Amino acid sequence: MLREADIVETLRAGGFLRPGDDPKFERLAGGVSSDVFRLETSQGVYCVKRALAKLRVAADWRAPVERSHYEVEWLRTARSLVGDQVPRVLFEDAQRSVFVMEFYDPRTHGVWKQDLADGRVDIDVARQVGALIGKVHAGTAGDLQVAERFPTHDLFEDLRLSPYLRQAARAHPDLAPRLLALADRTATTALALVHGDVSPKNILCGPDGPVLLDAECAWYGDPAFDLAFCATHLLLKTIWRPAHAPAYIAAAAVLHEAYLAQLNWEPAAQLEARAAALTGGLLLARVDGKSPVEYLVADDERAFVRGAARRLIESPASTMADLRMRWRELYEAR
Ligand SMILES: Nc1ncnc2c1ncn2[C@@H]1O[C@H](COP(=O)(O)OP(=O)(O)OP(=O)(O)O)[C@@H](O)[C@H]1O
Ligand SMILES: [Mg+2]
């Protein structure tokens, strides 16, 4: 209860809770990097999130709690561009890394990952996710004022580039030059506001479309990262649930197409080449990085991903369509 008591004190001190209000807390599932609760007060139902200094993963993984503030900044910025597809922030105590946002009832807002796992692959959701990410990128591309609000280069390195690409390079020394070059190029690309964790587990599907959560990795950098990160998740689902493999690939295609419709800050071919190369690296990182996907446990599944990723790193696809085609060919020949 200690954590809840701390949060209550923070919310009282900041005036979010009325004196004497005794809120009810219910811990939400997920929450690897934060404490996330449903909070019920006399005023309504909310979601409160507090960043943890030590992540709940097998490896000892610490991350500065200041990332909470950049999540809030991302939510505010993105909401100004895409409206209700991103939760409204209602309160923040940046010093204590606590914030409150709107709560989405799980009865009306399921997690996209669960829908995908169950074979409910709604192409419309994929389309809306692609458009959502594309709008945030297009709306922030080349905007120095936004860039200044996200001095998160080191955080992104610690949360994403190092545990994924650089860790995979340590596991595969022969691929290290390519993986490290990929990480370095990503680190030095500063084009738009990146979410950094566009994963189906961070997307809720509601009656008004998808809602994107969990922006702790927000960074002003390479928009190709978001497209690649999400594509990686959809491709890995083909191994997890082979029965729905064609639907996942179709979802990735539609998401990509909707994303491209928003792209106006650089030639599509440039962004595509970076995204396709990154996807190869991230696929490998999701089996041999610091944060492997929890659903690929069988040796042959992991070996397939390792082998396919290796090919996509050694000779990168030039477009996302090419990458999906090659994945499908390897997948069908396995
Ligand atoms: N505003 C919200 N309304 C309803 N549910 C939410 C809300 N925010 C988060 N959740 C639920 O809590 C889960 C964890 O939240 P979130 O992803 O923000 O935390 P996290 O600790 O950063 O997660 P992880 O590191 O595991 O991805 C989400 O997957 C979602 O199910
Ligand atoms: Mg999450």
Give the pLDDT confidence of 30-48 residue by residue, as tens digits. 778 899 999 999 999 999 9
Per-residue pLDDT band for 84 (boundaries 50, 70, 90) equals very high
- With contact defined as beta carbons under 8 Å apart, do 251 and 123 qualify? yes
Does the beta carbon of 152 lie inside 6 Å of ligand 1? Answer: no
Testing ligand 1's pocket by substitution, the residue of 62, 214, 233 carrying the most ligand atoms inside 8 A of its CB is 214
Sorted by where each begins, the domain ranges of the chain are 2-102, 110-332
> According to the model, what pLDDT value does residue 2 have?
67
Q: What angle do CA 197, 308, 268 make, to 5 degrees?
A: 55
Measured from the CB, is residue 200 less than 6 Å from ligand 1?
no
Q: Give yes or no for residue 3 having a pLDDT over 90.
A: no
Reply yes or no on domain 2-102 having CATH 3.40.50.620. no
pLDDT at 95 over 60: yes
Residue 74, ligand 1, Cβ within 6 A: no
Q: What is the pLDDT of residues 216-258, one digit of tens each?
A: 999 999 999 999 999 999 999 999 999 999 999 999 999 999 9
- Give the pLDDT of residue 57: 74
C-alpha of residue 29 to centroid of ligand 2, in Å: 9
Instruction: Pick the ligand that lies closest to the CA of residue 36.
Output: 1
Residue from 37, 67, 204, 293 to probe ligand 1 pocket by mutation (most atoms less than 8 Å from CB): 204
Among residues of the chain, what percentage have pLDDT more than 70? 99
Is the shortest distance between the CB of 224 and ligand 1 below 6 Å? no
pLDDT of residue 91: 98
Query: Closest-lying ligand to the alpha carbon of 214?
Result: 1
Q: Do domains 2-102 and 110-332 have the same CATH topology?
A: no
Contact in structure between 137 and 223 (CB atoms under 8 Å): yes
The stretch 161-176 carries a mean pLDDT of 98
Is the pLDDT at 20 greater than 90, yes or no? no
Q: Is the CB of 47 under 6 A from ligand 1?
A: yes
- Given 3.40.1800.10, 3.30.465.10, 3.90.1200.10, 1.10.1530.10, which CATH number is that of 110-332? 3.90.1200.10
- Tell me which residues have their CB within 5 A of the ion that is ligand 2: 202, 214
User: 81 CA distance to ligand 1 centroid (A)?
Assistant: 21
